[in-house]
Amino acid sequence: MRKAKQNGFTLLETLVVVCIVCVLSLVIFPTYINHRETSTASQLADSFRTYASSFSNYAIEKGSLPKKLPMRIYPEGMEERLPNFSEESMIGGHWDWNCHHEKDRLEIHLVNPEAGVTMLERIDQMLDDGNLLTGSVVGNEDHLTMIIQH
pLDDT values of the chain reduced to their tens digit, one per residue, 150 residues: 566 677 888 999 999 999 999 999 999 999 999 999 999 999 999 999 999 999 989 888 988 888 878 776 788 888 888 888 888 999 999 999 988 878 888 999 999 999 999 999 999 999 999 999 999 999 999 999 999 986
Report the pLDDT value the prediction gives residue 88, as an integer from 0 to 100: 92
Total-model pTM: 0.82
User: Where do the domains of the chain lie?
Assistant: 32-149
Cα–Cα dist 20/30, whole Å: 17
- The residue type found at 125 is Q
Report the pLDDT value the prediction gives residue 94, as an integer from 0 to 100: 92
Q: Of 114, 130, 112, nearest to 122 (Cα)? A: 130
Neighbours of 110 (CB within 10 A): 25
Backbone angles phi, psi at 57, to 5 degrees: -65, -40
Q: Of 108, 12, 24, 19, nearest to 58 (Cα)? A: 108
For residue 44, what are the CA distances in angstroms to 16, 34, 91, 138? 43, 15, 9, 15
Cα–Cα dist 65/94, whole Å: 21
Q: Of 135, 64, 128, 143, nearest to 97 (Cα)? A: 143
Please give the CATH number for the structural domain made up of 32-149: 3.30.700
Cα–Cα dist 146/29, whole Å: 32
In the three-class reduction of DSSP (H, G, I as helix; E, B as strand; rest coil), residue 129 is classed as: coil
